[in-house]
Homo-oligomer: A and B are copies of this chain.
Amino acid sequence: MAGVSVATVSYVLNGTAPISDKTREKVERIIRETGYRSNMLAKSLRTNESRLIGILVEDITVWHTPQIIDGINEIAERQGYHTILSNLRLMSKIASRFEDISNYQEDIDREVDMLAGMQVDGIIYVGMHDRMLPEMISDIGKPVVYCYCYPMGRGSSVRYDNEEVLYQLTGLMLKKGYRRFGVIGGLEGSEPAALRLKGFQRAMKEAGIEVPPENVLCGGWNYKEGRETAGKLLDRKDFPQIIMAMNDEMAVGVYDAATELGLKIPEDVAVTGFDHAAIAQHISPELVTVERPLQAMGYHAMELLTEQISGREEENQDIILPCRIIPGASVRADGYR
C-alpha cells in the first residue's frame, strides 16, 4: 500500500471514522489508480452479513418467472441487496426422469444448502405453478418467502387472488346479461383452476343460476385440448352464450373452434381468458382476460423478506394480491340480449 495502514483504508472506504482530508485524498487516489476493489467475501465473512439474497426458481423459462424476478430485483436494487439465482430447471428435469417426478427434493436441498453456505440473508422461492408445496426448504435460520406457491409448513408467501377475480369477472358477465355459461378449466386437480372455478360458482350461486355440469369441462391448459373442448361445448343445440377459458392459450382454441363452426365472436358466443399472455395479444376480437400482478408479487416478496431479515415483521404471512381484468371485444359491449 501507499503510506497508511489497512485500518485507515477501511475507514476511508466505509466512512466509519473521521479521517483528515489529506490522507483521504491520498488513499482515494491510490484506489483509483490501482483499480482496487474491496473483497466482498472477506467483508461479509467479517461483518457476518452478505446483503445477498437467494432466489430459488423452479424454472426460469416458465413465462411468469422472469417478471417476478424483475420485481424482486427492483426492490433489491433499491435496498442495496444483490441476488444469487438458482434455477432448479424442473421442466427439463421432470421430462428427463419422469419416473420419479417429485424426487426433486434433493435438488432443492442441495441448492438451499449452497445458498445457506453463501451466507445469504434470506431466500425467495418462486414456484412454477400456484400450488401448495409438499417439499420443504429445510430451516436454515434465515427467512424464506414463497412466491407463486405456498408452503405446507412454515414460511411466508405471496400469491394472487384466483378466486376473487373470477368471481368479479363472472359477475361482470352476469351483469351484461349472459346466462348460459361454459367453462374450460385446466388440468384435473389443479389448484388455481379449482379456485377460479370456485369464484365462478360463487357468483353463479349468488345470481341463482344453476350451471349444468356438462358445461364445465377441463381443457388441459393447452391450445389443442382447449379447442377440442370448445368444440364439444359449442357443437350442440343449446350451446353456451359465453365460454370462460381458464387461460389464454385455451381461449385461442375457443376462437378457432368457434370459427370452425361458423360462429362469430362475440355475436354468437363470447369468450374470456386468463393470463394476458403473448399468445392472445393480437387475436381478433381482442380477448377479455385477466392479468396477474407478477411484478407486484416480486415487489411484495422482496419487501416482506427484508422486513423479516430486519426482524420488523413476523413470519408466516400470506399476502394475496388482486388481479386486473383486461377489457376487450370478445364480449358484447352492449351486453347479451
- Kindly supply a per-residue 1/0 record for chain A positions 108-132, scoring 1 wherever the CB is within 8 Å of any chain B CB and 0 otherwise: 0000011011110000000000000
Cβ-defined contact, B69 with A118, below 8 A: no
Q: How far apart are the CA atoms of A41 and B50 in the complex, in Å?
A: 9
Identify which of A58-66, A145-153, A207-215, A313-321 touches chain B: A58-66
Task: Say how far A62's CB is from chain B's closest CB, in angstroms.
Answer: 8
Contact with B along A5-48 (1 / 0, CB 8 A): 00000000000000000000000000000010111111011000
**Is A216 part of the contact surface with B, judged by Cβ < 8 Å?**
no
B-chain residues with CB within 8 Å of residue A38 when the two chains form the complex: 117
Question: Does A86 lie at the interface of the complex (its beta carbon under 8 Å from any beta carbon of B)?
Answer: yes
Copies of this chain, how many?
A: 2
Q: Which of B84, B277, B282 is within 8 Å of A252, CB to CB? A: B282
- Cβ contact within 8 Å between B61 and A66: yes
Q: Chain B residues with Cβ under 8 A from A113's Cβ?
A: 37
Residues 140-174 of A, flagged 1 when their CB comes within 8 A of B and 0 if not, give 10000000000000000000000000000000000
* Contact A117–B281 (Cβ < 8 Å): no
Residues of B within 8 A of A69 (CB): 60, 85, 87
Instruction: Give A52 to B117 CA distance when docked, in angstroms.
Output: 13
Q: Is A284 an interface residue (CB 8 A)?
A: yes
Category for how many chain A residues contact B = 35 or more
- A175-195 vs B, Cβ < 8 Å mask (1 yes, 0 no): 000000000000000000000
Is the pair A118, B60 in contact by a Cβ cutoff of 8 Å?
Answer: no
CB contacts (< 8 Å) of A252 on chain B: these are 282
Contacts of A42 in B (CB 8 A): 45
Give min CB distance, A144 to chain B, whole Å: 15
Select A40's contact among B87, B92, B119, B138, beta carbons within 8 Å.
B119
Which residue of the partner chain, among B73, B116, B119, B284, contacts A60 with CB atoms under 8 Å? B73
In the assembled complex, A94 has its CB within 8 A of some CB on chain B: no
User: Which of A41, A77, A85: most chain B CB closer than 10 A?
Assistant: A41
30 A-B contacts, Cβ less than 8 Å apart?
A: A35-B138, A37-B116, A39-B45, A39-B119, A40-B118, A41-B41, A41-B45, A41-B50, A41-B118, A41-B119, A45-B45, A52-B84, A55-B85, A60-B69, A61-B66, A63-B278, A65-B66, A66-B66, A70-B87, A70-B89, A73-B89, A74-B92, A82-B114, A82-B118, A83-B86, A85-B85, A223-B281, A223-B282, A249-B282, A256-B284
Which residues of A come within 8 Å of B, CB atoms? 35, 37-42, 44-45, 50, 52, 55, 59-61, 63, 65-67, 69-70, 73-74, 77, 82-87, 89, 92, 113-114, 116-119, 138, 140, 223, 249, 252-253, 256, 277-279, 281-282, 284
